[in-house]
Amino acid sequence: MITVTDLKKTYEGKVPTPALKGISFEIKDGEFVAVMGRSGSGKSTLLHQLGLLDRPTSGKIILNNSDVLALSDQKRTIFRLKELGYVFQEYALISEFDAWENVYLPSLALKGTPDKKRAQELLELVGLADRLDHYPNELSGGEQQRVAIARALINSPKVLFADEPTANLDSASSQTVLKLFLKLNQEFKQTIVMVTHEPEDKKYVHRVLWLSDGLLEKEEKTGKKY
Amino acid sequence: MKDIKTAIFIAYKSLVKGSKSTLLLLVFILALSYLNMMFISGILAGLQNVFETTMINVLTSHITVGPEQEPEPKQYILNADQVRRQIESIPGVLATARHYSLAGSISFDKDKNGITKSVSGTIIGIDPIQEEKVLTIYRLLKNGQYLSPTDTDQIIISSALAGGYGVPAPSDLGGVRAKDKVKITYPNGVIRTYTVKGIYDDTIGIFETFITTREAESVLNTYNSASQILVKTDLSLNTLNGYEHKIKLLEPKLKVQNFLDILGTVAAFLNALNLISFIVGFISVLVAAITIFVLVYINAISKARQIGILRAIGIKQRIVVLSYVLQSLFYAFCGVLAGAFLVFAVLTPLLNRYPINIDFGYLSLVHRKMVVVLGTISLVAAGLLAGFVPARIVAKKDILKAIWG
Ligand SMILES: Nc1ncnc2c1ncn2[C@@H]1O[C@H](COP(=O)(O)OP(=O)(O)OP(=O)(O)O)[C@@H](O)[C@H]1O
Ligand SMILES: [Mg+2]
């Protein structure tokens, strides 16, 4: 599903910062993978490259058999819309749209007609069936994050990326979100790549990629089957 | 198509849920710009209208026919009544009148003490009956009465020449009134004394004296001639140039001019008005465009994060830009609508009912179709451009930078 080869990213600036120094790994279809490591080790940077939100300095990324770095900006945008789901650390909802509209917007952009039914089902799945017409400022942090997850799933992406999706949530909300991920992975075989700094989140995933100072330090199998 | 649908959806939600104060401010500014543009152009066109109407009514009528110029300039049109009948046979010609133009020096002894003041001016011989159908001097009398065809020892003179009305000029006669006696010395040596029968309000400050045709022919020793024939037409049936052309076909040798040709400097003045109106309109559009630009830019920058998120989840840049352009289109539409309401439903009817009294007429707003269409289009276009540019600047930003700054 994902093949990364010798991925490097150096942030240009007064002092160039090498954030990824040559990373290679593979993620299989249906896998639930955690990316862990100390703060500043390059986790977000890696996810941005995988999520096509940034362009790496060098290396290769194959996503669902496409050499995504060879795509034009326009094609990358369509790829994001169609094949990828992305959940940010902060709740990244559009404040002028209610929960339902936030979720079905990407389906409108992809097909020209909003998939309102699926959006409703997804909001039910994330436990927000009764919050359809709430605007982001009328939702709690955990609820907003679950809306963001529903939005990421609306176009049935091949991979769901999540960058510390629970960092801003209390432990109860965090559990809800993580259990949701687990359910998505187990029931719908959703491939998930999640950045986290909570060691105990390991129990949900099949594998952990440990980053350290821009390098892949080790890959840890948790023993869970998928 | 799906891009357009998505953009419409985003624009619609932004408008409905977005800041109402920004919306109101934008619409207000656009409405004011529109008002400003239409008011200035309307008032200048109104001014021009009043001016032209005055000229046509008191001075030149629509078309003036003069004597032959080739092979050598003649002094008079001969057989003037026959020429008039021919011209009057053209469909749309309402009336004609012949004029004798004479120069002369008018003297007035105001205090009857032998000290006279002399002023030179144009003396025009008219047939009072014909004249009423062409010029409206007879309606503009300030004092005394209009001429009748048999008056040979009476004249009427313009208020500017008479003096004592409005702004006093050192060159006027110092206050002639009806029943006063004045002496006119003609260039051919004829000197006659007349009783002033009336004073008319010339409104534009010309020194003119009217005598009857009969008197003019006696002074000049001519018959059935004319220095000019004035032609009044119905401009809803044909254009000025159209009438000119038809008269030239009938009377190829005579000199045919329309009122704009005759009023050379005045026409230049009217052109200057048009230029001013254009410049004011342009500045209005520019100010509106800059204001919209700034407001949309600030609005877009404050929403940079949202725009970044939209692009991160796979909304194309051009959809984002289009959604902003659609919003600007909506602002522009509302602004023009509000402005048009103010101009056409409030201000114009108001000024039609209570026109502004300026010295030479009553001023109200005159809207030329082309100015209205062009002004509206340019304001909407400016609004669109001013919405497009900032949206594009913000939408082109790097996604991660847009989200996290
Ligand atoms: N836009 C940027 N410009 C320059 N340097 C950057 C930029 N973003 C990240 N870095 C640097 O790259 C390195 C990796 O950053 P990254 O955000 O990937 O770390 P992280 O593992 O996600 O950390 P955290 O757990 O704190 O989120 C850090 O040293 C950081 O300072
Ligand atoms: Mg991070």
pLDDT level of residue B194 (50, 70, 90 thresholds): very high
Residue A22 φ/ψ region, left for φ over 0, alpha for ψ in the -120 to 50 degree band, beta for the rest:
left
Total of domains in chain A: 1
What pLDDT shows up at residue A81?
Answer: 95
Q: Domain range spanning residue A24?
A: 2-171+179-196+206-221
Higher model confidence: residue B293 or residue B309? Answer: B309
Closest CB from A86, A95, A101 relative to B312: A86
Mutate to test the pocket of ligand 1, among A23, A39, A44, A53 (most ligand atoms within 8 A of CB): A44
pLDDT level of residue A68 (50, 70, 90 thresholds): very high
What pLDDT shows up at residue B263?
Answer: 74
Q: What is the mean pLDDT of residues A132-157?
A: 93
Find, in chain B, the residue whose alpha carbon is nearest to that of A113.
B2
Q: Are strands A32-37 and B228-233 parallel, antiparallel or unpaired?
A: unpaired
Instruction: Note which residues in 251-310 of chain B have CB less than 8 A from chain A.
Output: 306, 309-310
A49: Cβ below 6 Å to ligand 1? no
Nearest CA to ligand 1 atom 30: A40
**Has residue A114 been placed in a domain?**
yes
Q: Two tokens at B1?
A: 């198509």
Is residue B141 a contact partner of residue B200, using CB atoms and an 8 Å limit? Answer: yes
- Residues B390 and A51: their CA atoms lie apart, in Å, by 27
Q: Return residues with CB closer than 5 A to ligand 2 (ion).
A: A 44
Strands lying side by side in the sheet with A17-27: A17-27, A2-11, A58-63, A66-67
Closest CA–CA distance from residue B321 to any residue of chain A (Å): 14
Atom of ligand 1 lying closest to residue A197 CA: 25
Closest CB from A51, A109, A135 relative to B2: A109
**Residues B155, B183 share a domain:** yes
pLDDT level of residue B287 (50, 70, 90 thresholds): confident
Closest CB from A74, A80, A101 relative to B313: A80
**Has residue A161 been placed in a domain?**
yes
**Has residue B371 been placed in a domain?**
yes
**Residues B96, B148 share a domain:** yes
Q: Which helix (H) or strand (E) holds B284?
A: helix B264-302
CATH number at residue A9: 3.40.50.300
**Residues B286, B373 share a domain:** yes
Q: What is the mean pLDDT of residues A79-104?
A: 93
Distances (CA, A) of A49 to A55, A72, A108, A132, B310: 6, 15, 26, 32, 18
Residue B324 CA to ligand 1 centre (angstroms): 32
- Count how many residues are written for chain A: 226
**Has residue B61 been placed in a domain?**
no
Q: Does the structure show a pLDDT above 90 at B271?
A: no
Q: Which of B221, B252, B283 is the last residue of a domain?
A: B252
CA angle centred on A109, ends A107 and A112, rounded to 5°: 85
- Residues A171 and A179: their CA atoms lie apart, in Å, by 12
Please give the sequence-ordered ranges of beta strands (E in DSSP) within chain A, or none if there are none.
Answer: 2-11, 17-27, 32-37, 58-63, 66-67, 84-87, 159-163, 191-195, 207-212, 215-221
**Residues B154, B16 share a domain:** no
Residue A99 CA to ligand 2 centre (angstroms): 26
**Residues B44, B105 share a domain:** no
**Residues B92, B9 share a domain:** no
Closest CB from A80, A112, A155 relative to B2: A112
**Has residue B227 been placed in a domain?**
yes
Total of domains in chain B: 2
pLDDT level of residue A191 (50, 70, 90 thresholds): very high
Q: Domain range spanning residue B115?
A: 71-252
**Has residue A226 been placed in a domain?**
no
**Has residue B113 been placed in a domain?**
yes
**Has residue B261 been placed in a domain?**
no
Is any Cβ of chain A less than 8 angstroms from the Cβ of B245?
Answer: no
**Has residue B64 been placed in a domain?**
no
Residue A218 CA to ligand 1 centre (angstroms): 20
Q: Two tokens at A21?
A: 């120094």
**Has residue A64 been placed in a domain?**
yes
**Has residue A201 been placed in a domain?**
no
**Residues B360, B236 share a domain:** no
Q: Which of B226, B252, B278 is the last residue of a domain?
A: B252
**Has residue B259 been placed in a domain?**
no
- Residues A94 and B309: their CA atoms lie apart, in Å, by 8
**Residues B108, B231 share a domain:** yes
A192: Cβ below 6 Å to ligand 1? no
pLDDT single digits (tens) B228-264: 999 999 988 989 899 999 999 998 999 999 888 877 7
A15: Cβ below 6 Å to ligand 1? no
What pLDDT shows up at residue A3?
Answer: 96
**Total-model pTM:** 0.77
Q: Does the structure show a pLDDT above 90 at B33?
A: no
pLDDT level of residue B395 (50, 70, 90 thresholds): confident
Residue A37 CA to ligand 1 centre (angstroms): 12
Answer yes or no: do B313 and A97 touch at CB < 8 A: no
What pLDDT shows up at residue A226?
Answer: 65
**Residues B306, B362 share a domain:** yes
What pLDDT shows up at residue A169?
Answer: 83
Residue A114: HSE in the Cβ half-sphere, 13 Å Cα cutoff: 17
- Count how many residues are written for chain B: 405
Find, in chain B, the residue whose alpha carbon is nearest to that of A84.
B313
Is residue B183 a contact partner of residue B237, using CB atoms and an 8 Å limit? Answer: no
- Percent of chain B at pLDDT > 70 equals 99
Average pLDDT for chain B: 88
Closest CA–CA distance from residue B9 to any residue of chain A (Å): 9
Residue A19 CA to ligand 1 centre (angstroms): 7
**Residues B194, B336 share a domain:** no
**Has residue B206 been placed in a domain?**
yes
**Has residue A59 been placed in a domain?**
yes
Q: Which residues of A touch B (CB under 8 A)?
A: 48, 51, 53-54, 73-74, 77-82, 84, 86, 88, 92-97, 101, 105-106, 108-114, 135, 151-152, 155
**Has residue A26 been placed in a domain?**
yes
**Residues B88, B161 share a domain:** yes
CA angle centred on A150, ends A186 and A203, rounded to 5°: 35
Atom of ligand 1 lying closest to residue A42 CA: 18
- Residues B207 and A185: their CA atoms lie apart, in Å, by 101
Residues from chain A that touch B317, judged by Cβ atoms under 8 A, are 73, 77
**Cβ neighbours of residue B13 under 8 Å, at least 6 residues apart?**
A94, A96, A97, A101
ipTM of the complex: 0.92
Atom of ligand 1 lying closest to residue A211 CA: 21
**Residues B216, B83 share a domain:** yes
Answer yes or no: do B403 and A88 touch at CB < 8 A: yes
User: Across-strand partners of B183?
Assistant: B107, B193
Answer yes or no: do A54 and B314 touch at CB < 8 A: no
